[in-house]
Structure 1
Amino acid sequence: MSDEDDVTIESIEISPNECPLESPLHLSIAFRSKRAFTAARWKITYTVDTVHTRKVIYLGETDAADYSVGSNVMTFSVDQISTEGIPKDVLANIGLLAATLMEGDKEVLAVNMVTQVRAEANGSLSRVIFSPLE
């Protein structure tokens, strides 16, 4: 049994959604664990991947926490998704928001959320993040 089998994602809440790309991000993931995790943390990244380049934006991580067997919830918030230095034509593409459960330096599970970024008529960029549960 892999570590990934130890965790089942029950729900994901993303807000705001269908908003400007650089808006704040609030993420909540409810999960059920078959085993306890000690000093685990969730690392959050946003990856822009094109034919010519891959940019990984580190958004942050949760504080280390002990998760018990059964139902648990992680919450993460960031005031802004900073895309400074990345051209708009690179950003206006499919991206990947990833929440990775880490126990020490070991990756337990990655929750990948496809993100559609599009250029609006006024030149701004907007995002829609899709839950893998829907």
Structure 2
Amino acid sequence: MAAAAPAPAVELLELKRVTVEPNECPLVSPIGVKLDYELSSEVTGGYWAVFYVIDTVRRRHLIQLGTTSVGDLAKGANSMEFSAKELNFAGVKASRLTTAGMLTCALRRAKGDAPADGDEELAAVNMVVQVETASGKPAGKSTEPAELVRTVFDPLA
């Protein structure tokens, strides 16, 4: 007799709504993210880490935007709000900034009282970010990040 197939894994997080403001604005503008979601089980010591990823052929840039505070998240409906005053792209060439980026909100479980490297990642919400020059022309060596415009796409759309 054959063994029964394992039950499919239950997703921890079901995303209900995403709001990113402002959108279609200068790349370096302040950013606010709100996620409405449901958890299939309680998460103790949970927090959200928010970062921007730029992948190019030569290099991966990971720009940390910040974290929410650590706390227990109840099973069921929850929301997360995060804001950053600016996106700092110091050290990243403008030509690399015009590569599609990824705004990521990662739900993590803290090992201690505060976020730290090595915390367990439980789920992630990834949002594609299109970046282009305000003029529509290709970015050059003298292009500044403030001249670039970001559009964050809703992963639920």
Q: What TM-score results when the alignment is normalised by the length of structure 1?
A: 0.94
> What code does the residue aligned with 1:130 have?
F
Distance in structure 2 (CA, Å) of the matches to 1:95 and 1:36: 31
Aligned equivalent of 1:12: 18
Query: Do structure 1's residue 127 and structure 2's residue 133 form an aligned pair?
Result: no
Distance in structure 2 (CA, Å) of the matches to 1:15 and 1:84: 22
Q: SS at the partner of 1:57?
A: strand
Aligned equivalent of 2:33: 27
Structure 1 residue ranges without an equivalent (≥5): none
> What code does the residue aligned with 2:150 have?
R
Aligned equivalent of 2:122: 108
Distance in structure 1 (CA, Å) of the matches to 2:104 and 2:13: 16
Q: SS at the partner of 2:11?
A: helix
- Equivalent pairs counted in the alignment come to 133
Distance in structure 2 (CA, Å) of the matches to 1:25 and 1:54: 22
Distance in structure 2 (CA, Å) of the matches to 1:116 and 1:35: 34
Aligned equivalent of 2:86: 80
Q: SS at the partner of 1:89?
A: helix
Q: How big is the shift at 1:89?
A: 0.6
Q: SS at the partner of 2:52?
A: strand
Percent identical: 33
- Please say if residues 29 and 87 of structure 2, whose CA atoms lie closer than 8 Å, have aligned partners that are also in contact: yes
Which ranges of 4 or more aligned residues in structure 1 deviate by more than 6 Å? none
Which one has a larger percent strand, Structure 1 or Structure 2?
A: 1
Structure 2 residue ranges without an equivalent (≥5): 1-7, 111-118, 138-142
Aligned equivalent of 1:117: 131
Query: Do structure 1's residue 44 and structure 2's residue 67 form an aligned pair?
Result: no
Q: How big is the shift at 1:120?
A: 2.1
Q: SS at the partner of 1:113?
A: strand
Q: What TM-score results when the alignment is normalised by the length of structure 2?
A: 0.81
